[in-house]
Structure 1
């Protein structure tokens, strides 16, 4: 049987250590940002607001009366609607769809649950203009919960158009092409429901990706996203906002909103 001298054992161990280290260093690195890319379908209102616009200051009302609301998606799961109602929340929007490939598995609990406690509710669609056309996505939205009924408690659908969480901010579209895509969605939604959809967006995104287009302001209510003490400058054409998402860290449900008026104005929007 051969005899191993202490010096040779140390050399053998050192060689093994160097070999293992070289394998680790030679391993290919993961693509930059790969671990941070969200899964398709996981997008929700305001997903890019903190990253692109930040958060600054405590919100303050700009009218004598505003009405508290929330917006939810699958991230909130089954929502404690009675708790929200007791806290003063009177209206809510639930994510129904994204693109033409995703429906919110919690939509029924969120959409019907808010209604059942007395809230005025509505549905929203997270737009992905790089996957299918605007009219196609409007149809998918209406066919999967985004419709409207004249019951006094159902708000018109919302087009959530904001930063692309899966790639380039403007979905690879020119400003004119983006305006066309939005117009196609809005026109088809109105053709299907008889209502003008609400546009949810942030001023900085709207300016970058539509060239601050003003042509939708006459018909489509504005839901502005800004986590600050005031809404700041609105996109071109709109002289006032209808709704304001002012935080992603509110009580019970993170995304809290203010309707720019008393509860009777929320009812008026529901009634068309």
Structure 2
């Protein structure tokens, strides 16, 4: 999606948000800013905001993100609650696999929910090992959302400059592997302190638990807004994050992995090799 198109979508989204907040403000957490602390990530009020992907009117496209903290999710019920997309925790650092990832990954696709996988980043852990763990765990298919790098924590031994260098290394390695650029997830405060203006070529997913939309540098763009971490959705028996997409359902689909980039780690050719066959260099 080009930046002008994104900005246009954001303006429409802001207008829709103004109209909706009278109905959902009660679910907000009173001005807290941040990103899924304790790596819990959770969602919001369920029936107050309804996704209408086929409507010609301005609509809000909402989703959830889940991890082991939500345990076994009934994705059939989640789908019926008009949830359009779900981000699913896959890995953390260089050693931890989310025990519910495989189930969530298959069930979301089976029930027609657009799915994306995220990696919880540990600054003190070698970035190469974190890339290896994620790419060996997650297989993308056409229609999936791009990978997500979840940035929430810091480490005293890692300077902000080194953090950004390592983050870029993860992003570039994962781009090379899958053939699509990842999305950066972070909280509003973390973004301001460490990321603002440093990654203009990547889209952001920002947690800001407020009735005010995420605030970004003029060179950056946010695609997803995590509105609350204390939501309630049918089919999920614990608090879950709720997220809004800055556009309509058609634009969400455009963001997803196209068919010719869909890639399994068992394929012989990388997605970039496939792309070269389709679009040969001059």
1:127 counterpart = 2:121: yes
Deviation string, structure 1 residues 163-221 (Cα, Å, up to 9, x no partner): x2xxxx445321111110111000100111111000001231123234x3x23222x11
Equivalent residue in structure 2 for 1:229, among 211, 227, 230: 211
Maintained 8 Å contact 1:224/1:231: no
Maintained 8 Å contact 2:63/2:83: yes
Match of 1:261 in 2: 247
Equivalent residue in structure 2 for 1:248, among 229, 234, 242: 229
Output aligned runs, 1:60-99, within 5 Å.
Answer: 64-99=58-93
Maintained 8 Å contact 2:68/2:100: yes
Larger radius of gyration: 1
Alignment gaps of 5+ in structure 1: 1-44, 51-58
Output aligned runs, 1:32-47, within 5 Å.
Answer: 46-47=36-37
Q: Please, what TM-score do these two structures have when normalized by structure 1? A: 0.70
Q: Mean Cα displacement is larger for which, 116-125 or 244-253?
A: 244-253
CA distance in 2, matches of 1:235, 1:161: 17
- How many residues align? The count is 206
Match of 1:158 in 2: 148
Maintained 8 Å contact 1:202/1:226: yes
CA distance in 2, matches of 1:232, 1:94: 22
1:148 counterpart = 2:140: yes
CA distance in 2, matches of 1:228, 1:246: 7
Q: Please, what TM-score do these two structures have when normalized by structure 2? A: 0.67
Q: Taking CA–CA contacts closer than 8 Å with sequence separation of 6 or more, which of the two structures ends up with the larger relative contact order?
A: 2
Maintained 8 Å contact 2:214/2:225: no
Q: For the structure 1 residues 224 and 119, does the alpha-carbon distance in structure 2 shift closer, same or farther, using more than 3 Å as the test? A: same
Maintained 8 Å contact 2:206/2:214: no
Alignment gaps of 5+ in structure 2: 1-34, 41-47, 50-56, 259-282
Over the aligned positions, Cα root-mean-square deviation in angstroms equals 2.5
After TM superposition, give the deviation of residue 236 of structure 1 in Å.
6.0
